[in-house]
Amino acid sequence: MLALNADGEINEVDHACRRVTVQDGVPEVTSWFDSWTQLGELLVSQAGDGLQRRHWISAANKVRRAAVYFGLCERYIPHTDPRKAHCYARMQACFRQFVELNREPCEYVEVPYENGASLPALFIPAATQGPAPTIIFIDGFDLYKEFVYLRKNGHAARLRDMAMLIVDTPGIGEALRLRGLTARHDTEVPLRYCMDFLARRSDVDLGKLGLIGLSLGGYYAPRAAAFEPRVKAVVAFGAQWDVGARWRVQHYAKDAAKSSLSAPETQLLWVTGQPTREAALDFLDTFSLDGIAQKITAPLLVVHGESDHLVLREDAELLARAAPKGELVITTPEYGGEGHCCMDGMQTGVDLIYDWLADKLGATAASRA
């Protein structure tokens, strides 16, 4: 579903999956790596053939899908395995080539951060000129800015006359993988740096800033909004409430094959920078919105799938009820996108969220006037 939501081809996905060896519900890593990377490299080769014939658009389509498949492959490989870094590098190279070939309205930027470091991000300007309402997008546990862009979000704000900054904050994407910045519970700090960065851009209306957090970002974004009054509207795309408690109960089954995790469990140590599972879980205990959500002054939209297997509906209800201006939308099979973060109906969730933000930030009326 990740691949299909990023416009992968179902025949390619099916072909790759059929070559993966699975035992007790768990894919074997070597067959997983071989299958997805062979598909990615085939598309890269085909794109190269197209470029020799000056077929720019078809080449862009192919490297776009290659980026999706390399990224999908990277997701399931433990961070201690060098093949993970290989897949990530190939994903980044293919994504950058796609942006260049397709002339995507996507700018690579660096957000100045603590101790001389910076946070890598993608800036997508609004379709119209002048200061525009702007959204900051924070991802979750096991994705990154390129995948956010490819999974329906890349043009969603722009089409509604809003700009967007998709940022790899500590513990996410390139900030973790290439810069060693592990997660932190006080996400208002990196958000503040992002807002200070946007304040220096003439194409951003600093008085109309929105915030989206996806999956674990459903903690990151509400937490940040509670301490940052410049946020005028915030979305939890997949709710969180007490992350440490949820991980203990939901994600670490006694039988590893029955775990609800969609990434190797060692990634928790990597993301948190902790040496043991116990230390990582203790660290996650600081990721709680109880007593924090009550401080959010901006409107909060919680979008949660009815059949979410990672976070229970009761957490979404707690979050929406705690926030003074909280709204809850439960996506159902009939509505579309009943899974975690609308994984089975991404366009449904994206349309719902960006329409809501456009309304709250005044973008829709401005663009249709």
Query: Between 211 and 26, whose confidence is greater?
Result: 211
Give the per-residue pLDDT at 262.
62
Structure pTM? 0.94
Distance CA 183, CA 151 (A): 23
| Residue 152 tokens, joined | 């329906």
Region of poorest pLDDT, from 1-5, 29-33, 277-281:
1-5
User: For 173-198, what is each residue's pLDDT tens digit?
Assistant: 999 999 999 999 999 999 999 999 99
Domain count, the chain: 2
| Residue 87 tokens, joined | 């897949």
Q: Are 193 and 116 in contact (CB under 8 A)?
A: no
Pair (65, 187) in one structural domain: no
Percent of the chain with pLDDT over 90: 82
Pair (169, 62) in one structural domain: no
User: What is the band of 252 on the pLDDT scale with cuts at 50, 70, 90?
Assistant: low
CATH number, residue 335: 3.40.50.1820
| Helix locations, the chain, DSSP H | 2-5, 10-18, 29-52, 56-75, 82-102, 145-148, 173-177, 188-199, 217-227, 243-246, 267-272, 277-284, 313-322, 346-361, 363-368
Task: Work out the average pLDDT over 264-283.
Answer: 91
Give the per-residue pLDDT at 365.
46
Give the per-residue pLDDT at 256.
45
Q: In what order do the strands lie in the sheet with 300-305?
A: 107-112, 118-124, 163-167, 132-138, 204-214, 231-237, 300-305, 326-331
Q: Which residues span the domain enclosing 157?
A: 107-368
Pair (190, 91) in one structural domain: no
Query: Between 322 and 337, whose confidence is greater?
Result: 322
User: What is the band of 366 on the pLDDT scale with cuts at 50, 70, 90?
Assistant: very low
Q: How far is CA 353 from CA 213, 259, 274, 286, 331, in A?
A: 11, 29, 34, 27, 12
Pair (152, 27) in one structural domain: no
Task: Work out the average pLDDT over 11-18.
Answer: 96
Give the per-residue pLDDT at 364.
59
Give the per-residue pLDDT at 261.
59
Task: Work out the average pLDDT over 37-50.
Answer: 98
Task: Work out the average pLDDT over 4-21.
Answer: 94
Of 102, 117, 150, which marks where a domain is finished? 102
pLDDT at 139 over 80: yes
Task: Work out the average pLDDT over 238-265.
Answer: 72
pLDDT at 316 over 50: yes
Q: Are 343 and 2 in contact (CB under 8 A)?
A: yes
Q: What mean pLDDT is reported for the chain?
A: 93
Pair (112, 98) in one structural domain: no
pLDDT at 325 over 80: yes
| Residue 17 tokens, joined | 């999956």
Of 86, 102, 118, which marks where a domain is finished? 102
SS3 238: coil
